[in-house]
Amino acid sequence: MGTSVQVTPLCGVYNENPLSYLVSIDGFNFLIDCGWNDLFDPSLLQPLSRVASTIHAVLLSHPDTLHLGALPYAMKQFGLSAPVYSTEPVYRLGLLTMYDQYLSRKQVSEFDLFSLDDIDSAFQSVTRLTYSQNYHLSGKGEGIVIAPHVAGHLLGGTVWKITKDGEDVIYAVDFNRRKEKHLNGTVLESFVRPAVLITDAYNALNNQPPKQQRERDRDFVDIISKTLEAGGNVLLPVDTAGRVLELLLVLEEHWSLKSLNFPIFFLTYVSSSTIDYVKSFLEWMSDAIAKSFETSRDNAFLLKHVTLLISKSELDKVPDGPKVVLASMASLEAGFSHDIFVEWAADVKNLVLFTERGQFGTLSRMLQADPPPKAVKVMMSRRVPLVGEELIAYEEEQNRLKKEEALKASLIKEEESKASHVPNINSSDPMVIDANNKHPSLDGQHGSGYRDVLIDGFVPPSTSVAPMFPFYENTSDWDDFGEVINPDDYVIKDEDMDQAAMHIGGDMDGKLDEGSASLILDTTPSKVISNELTVLVKSSLIYMDYEGRSDGRSVKSILAHVTPLKLVLVHGSAEATEHLKQHCLKHVCPHVYAPQIEETIDVTSDLCAYKVQLSEKLMSNVLFKKFGDYEIAWVDAEVGKTENDMLSLLPISTPAPPHKSVVVGDLKMADFKQFLASKGVKVEFAGGALRCGEYVTLRKVGLASLKGGGSGTQQIIIEGPLCEEYYKIRDYLYSQFYLL
């Protein structure tokens, strides 16, 4: 029997909720993707919480919230501790996306689901792989090989291939077949007949007009430049480090071409580090980008027309006038895009240009409705420093806590070190964020004083709350010979030089932008105040598809090409899922599943197989015929055993039993027509048949559309009167096939 495979969706089936699926292969549990949405609703993660502890490995496919957003929370709250596998860009950009999410959220709410430290520790256990790297799992997963392949949707985006005993399980969601400016198209089509394919129905009903990429780009920049020329501003709500890269390149190219002077701003909390990292990810991008770097060392992401901003105040300082702003979040639920939208929506000249469908239930989805709402209610929240009584109350509370702390510390000072210095004041005033957590503040000026400090590489430990220097009791041990010395103190370290240099570098995770760092360093007590207001939407709202996913038509044609033995559909509205299921049942394979949340389906292949050794004696008699990548031959063999009890095939001793001859080949009528024409035969299509010469007709009947089931055999009929031509054409026809 084949490898046992079970699939259990944990989130994101029959709707557009975040993606999270449990795939168990011979008892080894993979969690594939661990997504959350921009609303951060913990109830979505209920199914995950029930299985988190049984998971053996986590595979991440894309660096956005929908695919990996819940990782920090799951690691912290559900005891998920399995190793995580992803590509380098998914790791790095995913980390930045989470930072951006956190900082945006923190700005407007008492966000306490996870902290920056949780994000860091969740991403610490990520093993980074390159595309097409066959990674052999060890331990419980012995024999399983995982390999990431190009998905084409986001930078580093992955189609996961999990192989055991020669059977492939492929997880491919949000792939894009089309080659883009910065990404190559997916390689999904190069996999043929995997045992199981898990894919999404997200776009099954979404058929894009067959528009050339160039045309679409032109429309895109036309709309933007028209608005700018009319004196309006353009807001593009974007993701942190995903599709925005493509938009940046489109804009950058157009601006260079037309030498436009309107400023473009890319505003997220992590924009400058995003671009810094992206610059070093050329290996992961399209061939065109790699090539331009190899030949002329032009890094496509050395952006000349785009200014990277990391705080709103910097944008406010920019002189008025038409500008383009790409700001996160795409959902308009929080982040800079939210604030800018509220500011700009009231002006008819302005344009809000959506480049992807908003997540369900978010402001951007509401605005994308047709017709768009005239007015929307939004919650405006901002974080303000405490003043007056509140501040005094807060300080008193802090002092009280410090005193307690000091008292406690003195009691346990014989305990050696640092642990006791972590103040445990998480549970203080709910109005106030304790100073132990990083304190963001909308007011960027608070941070500016700290910036120089950061550049020097001085990062204060997050625990530095006490106004006094930490005091360590230095008790030295004495024995009969005097003070006990630690020999390590006297060893000259080889690595000293390195460490010195290392220190300058600071650690990698310290590489937040200065702006966000200022938020972290800022210890001013603050609180969030919210008020709801109604925004009249007067600005134009336009949706243009730049989401970089294959549309319904191309998904179907890819599926028909891949023809998995079993197909599992996830992620997509109920209608889309049902539509794609029906389509695939008819045209792709007879085994299509679309499980519900927490419904475990068994997609173990009912494939029978056994291994045999091909003896040298047998093989020396086999004559292979070459057929594309394949070589084929007919064998008649007798089963024997080798010394180590393997089945082996030996040449047959009795005359081979006659077998029905097999005609192998795939005849394409159009190709054959050309072939005949090249041989000087007059050919034409007439009434579904190919008329060859004067009398002979050739027909293909009962087109085997259902590849997986059915007979799969082509029926070709050749008819004609007895004449020389008949035999000639028959010979040509035979030349297209191999006979076994």
The footprint of another protein on residues 472-531 (CB under 8 A) is 494, 496-498, 501-502, 504-508, 510-511
Q: Using CB under 8 A, which of the segments 210-218, 367-375, 574-582, 624-632 binds another protein?
A: 624-632
Q: How far apart are CA 177 and CA 151, in angstroms?
A: 8
Q: Which of residues 407 and 608 has its CB atom nearest to another protein in the complex? A: 608
Q: How far apart are CA 595 and CA 123, in angstroms?
A: 30
Using CB under 8 A, which of 53, 207, 261, 280 touches another protein? Answer: 280
Within 712-731, the residues that bind another protein by CB under 8 A are 712-722, 726, 730
Cα pseudo-dihedral 381, 385, 390, 395, rounded to 10: 140
Phi-psi region of 139 (alpha: psi -120 to 50; beta: other; left: phi over 0): left
b or e along 230-264 (b: 16 or more beta carbons within 10 Å of the residue's beta carbon)?
Answer: eebbbbbbbbbbbbbbbbbbbbbebbeeeebebbb
Q: Which of residues 482 and 721 has its CB atom nearest to another protein in the complex? A: 721
Using CB under 8 A, which of 112, 347, 416, 638 touches another protein? Answer: 638
For position 659 contacting another protein by CB under 8 A, the verdict is: yes
Q: Which of residues 304 and 660 has its CB atom nearest to another protein in the complex? A: 660
Using CB under 8 A, which of 210, 214, 297, 643 touches another protein? Answer: 297
Q: At its nearest, how many Å lie between another protein and the CB of residue 133? A: 4
Q: Which of residues 257 and 623 has its CB atom nearest to another protein in the complex? A: 623
Q: At its nearest, how many Å lie between another protein and the CB of residue 78? A: 30
Q: At its nearest, how many Å lie between another protein and the CB of residue 633? A: 5
Within 333-392, the residues that bind another protein by CB under 8 A are none
Question: Cβ(375)–Cβ(363) under 8 Å?
Answer: no
b or e along 314-336 (b: 16 or more beta carbons within 10 Å of the residue's beta carbon)?
Answer: ebeeeeeebbbbbbbbbbbbbbb
For position 684 contacting another protein by CB under 8 A, the verdict is: no
Show Cβ contacts of residue 333 under 8 Å, excluding neighbours closer than 6 positions.
38, 39, 362, 363, 364
The DSSP bridge partners found for residue 146 are 135, 162
Phi-psi region of 119 (alpha: psi -120 to 50; beta: other; left: phi over 0): alpha
Q: How far apart are CA 274 and CA 255, in angstroms?
A: 21
Map tokens 């898990």 to a residue.
Answer: 198
Q: At its nearest, how many Å lie between another protein and the CB of residue 119? A: 17
Using CB under 8 A, which of 47, 216, 293, 402 touches another protein? Answer: 293
Map tokens 């939210």 to a residue.
Answer: 338
Phi, then psi, of 526 in degrees rounded to 5? -145, 170
Q: Which of residues 471 and 734 has its CB atom nearest to another protein in the complex? A: 734
Within 555-584, the residues that bind another protein by CB under 8 A are 565
For position 661 contacting another protein by CB under 8 A, the verdict is: yes
Q: At its nearest, how many Å lie between another protein and the CB of residue 504? A: 7
Structure-block tokens of residue 333: 């639920």
Using CB under 8 A, which of 147, 187, 250, 378 touches another protein? Answer: 147
Residue type for 194, please?
A: P
Within 232-251, the residues that bind another protein by CB under 8 A are none
Using CB under 8 A, which of 51, 113, 282, 401 touches another protein? Answer: 282
Q: Of 654, 623, 565, which Cα lies nearest the Cα of 739?
A: 623
Residue 209: other Cβ atoms inside 10 A: 8
Within 437-476, the residues that bind another protein by CB under 8 A are 455, 457
Q: Of 93, 104, 102, which Cα lies nearest the Cα of 153?
A: 93
Please provide the size of the chain in residues. 740
Q: Which of residues 137 and 542 has its CB atom nearest to another protein in the complex? A: 137
Q: How far apart are CA 170 and CA 156, in angstroms?
A: 17
DSSP H or E segment with residue 618: helix 616-619
Within 30-89, the residues that bind another protein by CB under 8 A are 88
For position 221 contacting another protein by CB under 8 A, the verdict is: no
Edge-to-edge strands, sheet with 306-309: 306-309, 264-267, 324-328, 234-238, 351-354, 540-543
Binding letters toward another protein, positions 687-706, x by CB under 8 A: -----------------x--
Q: Using CB under 8 A, which of the segments 129-137, 433-441, 534-542, 670-678 binds another protein?
A: 129-137
Packed helices 271-279 and 88-108: angle between N→C axes, nearest 10 degrees: 180
Number of residues that bind another protein (CB under 8 A): 106
Q: Which of residues 468 and 504 has its CB atom nearest to another protein in the complex? A: 504
Q: Which of residues 498 and 684 has its CB atom nearest to another protein in the complex? A: 498
DSSP per residue over 283-335, as a string? GGS-HHHHHHHHHH---TT--SSEEEE-SHHHHHHSPSS--EEEEE-TTSSSH
Q: Of 114, 64, 115, 71, which Cα lies nearest the Cα of 90?
A: 64
Q: Which of residues 78 and 135 has its CB atom nearest to another protein in the complex? A: 135
Q: Which of residues 135 and 450 has its CB atom nearest to another protein in the complex? A: 135
Q: Using CB under 8 A, which of the segments 20-28, 130-138, 176-184, 523-531 binds another protein?
A: 130-138
For position 318 contacting another protein by CB under 8 A, the verdict is: no
Q: Using CB under 8 A, which of the segments 39-47, 401-409, 544-552, 628-636 binds another protein?
A: 628-636
Q: At its nearest, how many Å lie between another protein and the CB of residue 409? A: 33
Q: Using CB under 8 A, which of the segments 286-294, 313-321, 336-344, 402-410 binds another protein?
A: 286-294
Q: Which of residues 216 and 511 has its CB atom nearest to another protein in the complex? A: 511
Using CB under 8 A, which of 369, 406, 485, 607 touches another protein? Answer: 607
Binding letters toward another protein, positions 153-172, x by CB under 8 A: -------------x------
Phi-psi region of 143 (alpha: psi -120 to 50; beta: other; left: phi over 0): left
Within 250-279, the residues that bind another protein by CB under 8 A are 276, 279
Using CB under 8 A, which of 369, 392, 411, 662 touches another protein? Answer: 662
Q: At its nearest, how many Å lie between another protein and the CB of residue 194? A: 12
Q: At its nearest, how many Å lie between another protein and the CB of residue 515? A: 16
Q: Which of residues 114 and 301 has its CB atom nearest to another protein in the complex? A: 301
For position 627 contacting another protein by CB under 8 A, the verdict is: yes
- Measured over the CA atoms of residue 626, residue 608, residue 199 and residue 572, the dihedral's sign is positive
Q: Of 2, 3, 40, 42, which Cα lies nearest the Cα of 23?
A: 3
Phi, then psi, of 377 in degrees rounded to 5? -90, 130
For position 193 contacting another protein by CB under 8 A, the verdict is: yes
Q: At its nearest, how many Å lie between another protein and the CB of residue 571? A: 28
Q: At its nearest, how many Å lie between another protein and the CB of residue 612? A: 5
Q: Of 660, 663, 659, which Cα lies nearest the Cα of 712?
A: 663
Q: Of 20, 169, 88, 197, which Cα lies nearest the Cα of 558?
A: 197
Q: How far apart are CA 708 and CA 266, in angstroms?
A: 48
